[in-house]
């Protein structure tokens, strides 16, 4: 067991989580197994159970401020994929893999396309909006925790930092 009670971890698309305890439970009907019992840092009413060996492999430690700034400094917007199905598959894979650079690239592309559509009097696609919400949730929570700001302040921080790096 790599992690302990009260550790703060980044858990996939759930963002920042607090390990409340470990507990042996039979959640799958396959006998007792040891689980990390987590709550989302920004949504403490949500409880998540992650089997210990799985958590040991996929949990990440929160980023430092320098790491956040390096990720933003390396930002490159993703090219737009015009085929809806291909775009959804690509963006879903990039969001699921959890690379912060990929998440920022997807967010940038989706924001750019959203602005174009609105400017042309069209609505953004619902599936694109869902992918945007997923990616922003992870970035906003992760960066907010590291920067010691609120999640809703992260987009402004990123925009300002990108302008400074250009």
Question: pLDDT tier at 1 (50, 70, 90 boundaries)?
Answer: confident
Q: Give the integer Cα–Cα distance in Å for 166 and 163.
A: 5
Summary count for the chain: helices (H), strands (E):
6, 4
Chain-wide mean pLDDT for the chain?
Answer: 92
Rg for the chain (alpha carbons), in Å?
Answer: 18
Element (H, E) at 136: helix 126-147
Read off the pLDDT of residues 54-106 as tens digits, 9 standing for 90 and up: 888 999 999 999 999 999 999 988 889 999 999 999 998 988 887 899 999 99
What per-residue confidence (pLDDT) applies to 166?
Answer: 59
pTM (2 d.p.)? 0.88
């Amino acid at each position: 067991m790599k992690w302990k009670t009260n550790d703060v971890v980044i858990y996939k698309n759930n963002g920042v989580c607090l390990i409340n305890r470990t507990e042996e439970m039979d959640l799958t009907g396959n006998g007792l197994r040891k689980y990390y019992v987590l709550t989302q840092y920004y949504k403490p009413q949500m409880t998540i159970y992650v089997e210990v060996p799985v958590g040991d492999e996929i949990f990440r430690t929160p980023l430092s401020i320098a790491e956040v700034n390096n990720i933003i400094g390396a930002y490159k917007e993703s090219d737009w994929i015009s085929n809806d199905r291909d775009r959804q598959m690509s963006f879903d894979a990039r969001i699921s893999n959890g690379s912060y650079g990929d998440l920022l690239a997807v967010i940038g592309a989706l924001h750019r396309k959203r602005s174009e559509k609105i400017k042309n009097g069209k609505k953004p696609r619902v599936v694109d909006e869902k992918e945007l919400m997923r990616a922003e949730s992870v970035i906003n929570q992760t960066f907010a925790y590291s920067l010691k700001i609120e999640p809703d302040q992260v987009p402004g921080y990123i925009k300002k930092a990108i302008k400074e790096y250009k």
